Amino acid sequence: MKLQIPSTGVLLTLLSQLFNSFMIMFCKLLITDPDLEVPMHPLQILFVRMSITYIFCILYFCFYEKNKDFPLGPKGFRKLLFLRALGGFVGVGGQYWSLLYLNVSDTVCITFLAPTITSLMAYFFLNERFTSVEAIGGLFALFGVVLIAKPHFLLTLFSSNLNSNSNSDSTDIVSSSNGRIIGSCFAFFSTFGTGVAMCAIRKIGFNAHPLFMVSIYALFTLIASFVGIIILPGLSFIIPHTIKQWSLLTAIGITGFVMQFLLTAGMQREKAARAISMTYTQLIYASIFDFITNGTIPSGWSLVGEIVIVIAVFSIVYFKPDTTTTTINTNTVPDLESTLHPINDVNIELSTYSDHDHDYDDTDFKISDDEQSNH
């Protein structure tokens, strides 16, 4: 094992989770706004968020970098782009629907199986290496999630009189056994949807601009959420009527767009197991923002869980097996600039695992001066 500086992909994914936490904070402020007579449904927030995201993508491809492949993406990768959009929608939709049957803490714990499921899917379908450090670190991070969320289904194993003595949010929803099974199925579908979306991004790689993946996902989701608002009983569009509400909706759209772009760019540059593990940090960001906005101090167990997550993520980011140097040919250069302007037929030297040809990150790429001058 050796100590390693975090790659650009890891840093982009970490930054995406910061913006994701900002977005969640703005959502919470909007939903709990006392000026709203009827709380805004998450589907409407999702519709507005994806509408803003898609508008930004249109502006980019129509005015900044005109691309003949917009809006469907480059030929040969459109099925994968659609798969990314479908998986992303299932990931988001599964979370929302599971909340109808499960407590928030239960849903969080189940959906945070997504990093492990994504890593296993990448291992089996993309031949990406899944190291023991990543596996153990992921398990410890999931244990930290359990300490923070304190799911009802685990607490009942240790306390038979939990429902009569506890004042936590785990008693806010009383679910039948059938309801909990349905909710758990939705949550598990969410994790698999996320895994499919992330693996599709890895498979596409640098053959498509990251905003293609974001735009198709946004278009698919805004159409699906619009249909959901129309056909589901009891739902209707709520028009914001204060500057604060409009500002929060706009902030949700902007932070959601930035989060999706950073997450996609990060997944392009780093293998799935390491990149997706960074999503655990959003719980830490959420605790910080909750303290800033509401003055809520995490419990002792929550603090222990956050420390466990930090240690687990640190181990995944900074430790990897010893590497040897080899030379390969590729048709793309994995840096942020090359994502915007692809460079073809470049000989690249990279550091890779001695027993696997596909496990690398962008910090190891070295382009010769002669080839740089040719481009």
Which among 136, 137, 118 has a CA at the least distance from the CA of 128?
118
Which among 235, 275, 229 has a CA at the least distance from the CA of 118?
275
The per-residue pLDDT for 318 is 76
Cα of 211 vs its chain's centroid, Å: 15
Which among 358, 320, 256 has a CA at the least distance from the CA of 52?
256
The per-residue pLDDT for 49 is 92
Cα 172 to Cα 295: distance, rounded to the nearest angstrom:
22
DSSP 198-214: HHHHHHHGGGS-HHHHH
**Residues 86-125: tens digit of each pLDDT:** 999 998 888 878 877 877 777 777 888 888 888 889 999 9
The per-residue pLDDT for 56 is 94
The per-residue pLDDT for 313 is 80
Entry pTM:
0.73
The per-residue pLDDT for 154 is 63
Residues of the chain with pLDDT under 50: 160-175, 323-375
Cα 264 to Cα 342: distance, rounded to the nearest angstrom:
16
The per-residue pLDDT for 342 is 44
Count of C-beta atoms within a 10 Å radius of residue 4: 15
Residue 205 φ/ψ region, left for φ over 0, alpha for ψ in the -120 to 50 degree band, beta for the rest:
left
Q: Measure Cα distances from 200 to 77, 122, 138 in Å.
A: 10, 9, 21
User: In this structure, are strands 366-367 and 324-330 parallel, antiparallel, or unpaired?
Assistant: unpaired
Cα of 213 vs its chain's centroid, Å: 13
